[in-house]
Amino acid sequence: MHCGPPDMVCETKIVAAEDHEALPGAKKDALLAAAGAMWPPLPAAPGPAAAPPPAPGPQPHGGTGGAGPPEGRGVCIREFRAAEQEAARRIFYDGILERIPNTAFRGLRQHPRIQLLYALLAALCFAVTRSLLLTCLVPAGLLALRYYYSRKVILAYLECALHTDMADIEQYYMKPPGSCFWVAVLDGNVVGIVAARAHEEDNTVELLRMSVDSRFRGKGIAKALGRRVLEFAMLHNYSAVVLGTTAVKVAAHKLYESLGFRHMGASDHYVLPGMTLSLAERLFFQVRYHRYRLQLREE
């Protein structure tokens, strides 16, 4: 079974990562100015005043990856370092685990046919047993089964991801041209992650693996991580940024829309890595896959 991102591209026809320093300074400044116009500045992070901006000079692989306040003085978005592998994996793992109850319970509202099926099962139980007590236990049993199968599938997905791209972030995201992985650092600790992966065939870049430590949400960190990917896409002359998500929380979708993404459609037939498509899974585990796109320029 294929899990996680497909094999990374080895070269691209767009401005490659190692060629970034060759971009004229004026062009880089113009692109960053355009990015700033598209996405207004975020509120300043709480704490001491931010340090003055760094002096002009060559930018690293991730575009403006070194920009931002120094560690310990607000949130800094910068490129991933190999020593942060375990911290990044922990944030990813914890973020995906949160989807178990959301998928099992909140996600049920997205599937009216399943709701109808469960109601029919409860009615059938009453018709057969004539017991209100047993009939009342049916919904509880069905929800318990939804939680069990949500946990089973999502843990299988996690196992898959932790043994593919998240097993070696350096190899999957930092070495291939046109891809990158960033971390949000607060007081010297990694509190958020996001990745970008090139799709050479249509000159787009995909936003992946965005997650913020639950203790540090509500500070604009996720939005800052998303903007870093958008700036990266502009600097590397991609035509669009795309993403796909099975997130149930409304806040996640509002975040994408606030960054300028357009909802391109949803599917109830997405097969999450880790699914077996057994009858039990079809009855007790469903996800809705949403596609988003932010067009940067016309091809």
23 close to 32: Cβ distance less than 8 angstroms: no
Cα–Cα nearest to 78, from 90, 93, 86, 88: 88
SS3 of 204, please? strand
For residue 3, the model assigns a pLDDT of 57
For residue 7, the model assigns a pLDDT of 35
Number of structural domains found in the chain: 1
Q: Residue ranges of the alpha helices (H) in 186-278? A: 221-235, 250-258
- Express as a percent the part of the chain with pLDDT over 90: 71
The per-residue pLDDT of the chain, averaged, comes to: 82
Q: Please check whether residue 238 lies inside any domain of the structure.
A: yes
More confident residue, 25 or 178: 178
Q: Please check whether residue 24 lies inside any domain of the structure.
A: no
For residue 121, the model assigns a pLDDT of 95
Q: Please check whether residue 57 lies inside any domain of the structure.
A: no
For residue 297, the model assigns a pLDDT of 85
Encode pLDDT of 29-88 as tens digits: 444 444 444 444 444 444 433 344 444 443 444 444 444 443 334 889 999 999 999 999
Q: Please check whether residue 31 lies inside any domain of the structure.
A: no
Mean pLDDT of 172-198: 95
CB neighbour burial string for 248-278, b if at least 16 within 10 angstroms, e if fewer: beeebbebbeebbbeeeeeeeeeebbbbeee
For residue 274, the model assigns a pLDDT of 85
C-alpha 245 chain-centroid distance:
7
The DSSP element (H or E) to which 79 belongs, if any, is: strand 75-79
CB neighbour burial string for 12-46, b if at least 16 within 10 angstroms, e if fewer: bebbbbeebeebeeeebeebbeebeeebeeeeebe
Please list the residues that pair with 181 across neighbouring strands: 195
- Quote the domain boundaries for residue 250: 77-295
- Express as a percent the part of the chain with pLDDT over 70: 75
135 close to 122: Cβ distance less than 8 angstroms: yes
Encode pLDDT of 241-251 as tens digits: 999 999 999 99
Q: Please check whether residue 90 lies inside any domain of the structure.
A: yes
Q: Residue ranges of the alpha helices (H) in 98-131? A: 99-104, 112-129
The CATH number of residue 248's host domain is 3.40.630.30
Mean pLDDT of 285-297: 95
Tokens standing for 156? 């299988």
Cα–Cα nearest to 222, from 254, 253, 189, 193: 193
Contacts of 171 (CB under 8 A, 6+ apart): none
Q: Please check whether residue 128 lies inside any domain of the structure.
A: yes
Pairing of strands 240-245, 262-267: unpaired
For residue 136, the model assigns a pLDDT of 93
pLDDT over 50 (residue 154): yes
For residue 203, the model assigns a pLDDT of 94
Q: Please check whether residue 224 lies inside any domain of the structure.
A: yes
Cβ burial, residue 127 (10 Å; 0-12/13-18/19+) = exposed
pLDDT over 70 (residue 10): no
Mean pLDDT of 170-191: 95
pLDDT over 70 (residue 135): yes
Q: Please check whether residue 55 lies inside any domain of the structure.
A: no
Cα–Cα nearest to 227, from 289, 139, 296, 169: 296
Please list the residues that pair with 242 across neighbouring strands: 206, 293
